[in-house]
Structure 1
């Protein structure tokens, strides 16, 4: 049974290591200072709007929440207000903006932002006010006395078939052309803004495109350093950068491994995290990884044949040398797969069929293929699977956590 001190220690850890929810306060954010500065600069530039995009799991939602808290000015009568809403697959242009105005009535009124005239408008929206065009939105936004930043998180969930993306582009242009004191910030999973907003060429001068790259090792190590320091823990030399390397750029894994390594130290009644704690934390991390990653992995490698190679080929894909876009060639698998199977000079014919199957719907797909027949390139649909695959390989004894750091 845990003691009171152990329970309090775990509570402190869970305050700083949050693998299952976004960060919302600046003091809990590690790294990303240049990126946050760039977003704030864009928001402070009149007529400019922002698109924050990147791979899944790079921390875009946390950045959006932190920025919202940093630029909100509740103590000033004429201060800026920030409205953050999440999109979903059922949203239309109208429902997106209704969420915004409902949020104003539910939360922003407490800050004193909503004047009576504006409150009357939004309070009767469901019955009297139509929100179907960009101009409808412009008129409603202009009814509020304060400068406004509207953040649409998970914007990539808006259906491609919806006209909402066209209308959002029109709204951005209208806001800029008519000097509306409002900024739109779109946050979504994408490799380019073409995947998020239609007709972006016509609003090119009105938007700041900010790509959220995976975090570098120094930023990920800072998560560990700050988390343990503020939780009252110390750690053995190298653990911070070891966790950073295992996380492969994704803050979720740094928070997950940091939390469970700390919990293992608490179980041993210590306030110093050791390398042994981290080794033991890997199993717990695999079992508690978020976002359906574990399920995606199991679907990708499923087979009724006990001697199948799906798991090993997928591990080789995770280890293979990749270009700046995360793509690899079929030849890039030869060396890592030979090492995994302990079979020198394995031929492509032994595994190329697995690559094609990884691109099929019944295996996720876990990979996608680009290029032409003479020069196919493959990449993970969800790059967050890469660190999971490596952690699973460590647990299976394919290699150690130290060797995994350089793979």
Structure 2
């Protein structure tokens, strides 16, 4: 087993993965720590460095196996904010250092065609470099001519799956292309169907390249409806929320990189608050570093994390903040909308993230310190599931058997953060959320 893991995850040079502190002298360079916090903890963009990548060993293994097996391709899918793009970004660093890899990543958008999205990808490849072997372009030695795949693109018509296949065959002669298409769910059904046809063609011809599709979806059918025809060629890798130990690894790796120590209770709060979503781990940790530097403290305490949560709420993306405000604002000050939504965030969900009205009762009573039954907040749940309250919840089922979940997975931790900042929930309640 050890030999197998070594083959899957070859150890790069120490210079590639060694986590170095950004200061060695006393006193620390606090301004530099604040600057580095923005590159170590990155809530607004994916991780792009193996040394800062944490967890996901099983998913990395499956993706590496897909890359190493000719004719195999991969699709990464899951909720928003779970780290799909970060995994795709660093996969080339888990391959053998002796392999020349071309790994452009393209962000698809709703207006893209099959032709335009592939032109985006090919336009990036001559910028791909692998410094440790001194190569540029298609594996050319330093000092030799750089070749762009755009030189192979016909000028008299759009790119088709067969033309793309021919270009990839030419490219694979000198390097291994790993073509990453992020936000694949934004493409039209017609374009996604063309990708399915092309993947089948690449697999049938055993072209030595790997297509990696990345998209937000609960099931693969939501991304590729005709996936049955390509199922043998497409490794399906669901990216679920991270475990507590994986989130803790993100915290430890980042603070170690910055030369900071974090108290156990402070780290526990960050881990539980993240709800398995690395976006929140990076967001709160980034603000915790800034707060620590402002206080000239090399130790991240519970009080520092508490303040970091407050500043993270202010820094949260506008869509979530706006929807939360519209969902919880009411004309009457004594309205329960804010408390009911917080109780929903604390309710115990099933494996698919759904909770019931009954599950809201206990946390609501604990938050308000009053006894409430389902009839008190049934209308609130209905409004949360409608445009009147920004559709923050999704409702499914039949009367008396309705179940609910948050429409946007990033909303639930934000609601909990608001509850912590306003001291409406206790550490014990937060512990129950993390289980």
Q: What TM-score, normalized to structure 2?
A: 0.85
| Residue 173 (structure 2) pairs with residue 148 (structure 1) | no
Other structure's SS at 2:355 match: coil
Residue 61 of structure 1 corresponds to which residue in structure 2?
A: 85
| Residue 234 (structure 2) pairs with residue 213 (structure 1) | no
Residue 285 of structure 1 corresponds to which residue in structure 2?
A: 312
Residue 359 of structure 2 corresponds to which residue in structure 1?
A: 332
Shift of 1:389: 0.6
Shift of 1:404: 1.8
Q: Is the 8 A contact 1:72 1:80 kept in 2?
A: no
**Distance in structure 1 (CA, Å) of the matches to 2:386 and 2:396:** 14
Residue 111 of structure 1 corresponds to which residue in structure 2?
A: 136
1:88 and 1:291, CA in 2 relative to 1: closer, same or farther beyond 3 A?
farther
Q: Is the 8 A contact 1:86 1:154 kept in 2?
A: yes
**Distance in structure 1 (CA, Å) of the matches to 2:428 and 2:316:** 21
Q: Is the 8 A contact 1:23 1:29 kept in 2?
A: yes
Other structure's SS at 2:51 match: helix
Other structure's SS at 2:29 match: helix
Other structure's SS at 2:242 match: coil
**Distance in structure 2 (CA, Å) of the matches to 1:67 and 1:385:** 29
Residue 28 of structure 1 corresponds to which residue in structure 2?
A: 52
Residue 123 of structure 1 corresponds to which residue in structure 2?
A: 151
Q: Is the 8 A contact 1:24 1:69 kept in 2?
A: no
**Distance in structure 1 (CA, Å) of the matches to 2:119 and 2:46:** 24
Residue 13 of structure 1 corresponds to which residue in structure 2?
A: 37
Residue 342 of structure 1 corresponds to which residue in structure 2?
A: 369
| Equivalent of residue 384 in structure 2, options 351, 355, 358 | 358
Residue 86 of structure 1 corresponds to which residue in structure 2?
A: 107
| Residue 422 (structure 2) pairs with residue 396 (structure 1) | yes
**Distance in structure 1 (CA, Å) of the matches to 2:239 and 2:326:** 28
Shift of 1:50: 0.5
Cα distance per residue 1:132-170 (max 9 Å; x no partner): x321221222232333211101111113xx401111111
Number of matched pairs: 398
| Equivalent of residue 187 in structure 2, options 134, 140, 158 | 158
**Distance in structure 1 (CA, Å) of the matches to 2:75 and 2:258:** 35
Q: What TM-score, normalized to structure 1?
A: 0.90
Q: Is the 8 A contact 1:57 1:252 kept in 2?
A: yes
Cα distance per residue 1:336-375 (max 9 Å; x no partner): 222222221x222221222222122343321112223342
1:195 and 1:97, CA in 2 relative to 1: closer, same or farther beyond 3 A?
same
Residue 11 of structure 2 corresponds to which residue in structure 1?
A: none
Residue 41 of structure 1 corresponds to which residue in structure 2?
A: 65
What are structure 1's unaligned runs of at least 5 residues? none
Shift of 1:23: 0.6
| Equivalent of residue 294 in structure 2, options 244, 267, 279 | 267
* 1:227-306 equivalence runs, <5 A: 227-290=254-317, 292-306=319-333
Shift of 1:80: 3.2
| Residue 207 (structure 2) pairs with residue 180 (structure 1) | yes
Cα distance per residue 1:94-139 (max 9 Å; x no partner): 21111112222454697130789995762374733421x3212212
Residue 384 of structure 1 corresponds to which residue in structure 2?
A: 410
Other structure's SS at 1:143 match: helix
**Distance in structure 2 (CA, Å) of the matches to 1:229 and 1:392:** 28
1:361 and 1:158, CA in 2 relative to 1: closer, same or farther beyond 3 A?
farther
**Distance in structure 2 (CA, Å) of the matches to 1:103 and 1:173:** 24
Other structure's SS at 1:373 match: coil
Other structure's SS at 1:52 match: strand
RMSD, aligned α-carbons: 2.5
1:47 and 1:312, CA in 2 relative to 1: closer, same or farther beyond 3 A?
same
**Distance in structure 2 (CA, Å) of the matches to 1:108 and 1:95:** 23
What are structure 2's unaligned runs of at least 5 residues? 1-26
1:266 and 1:104, CA in 2 relative to 1: closer, same or farther beyond 3 A?
closer
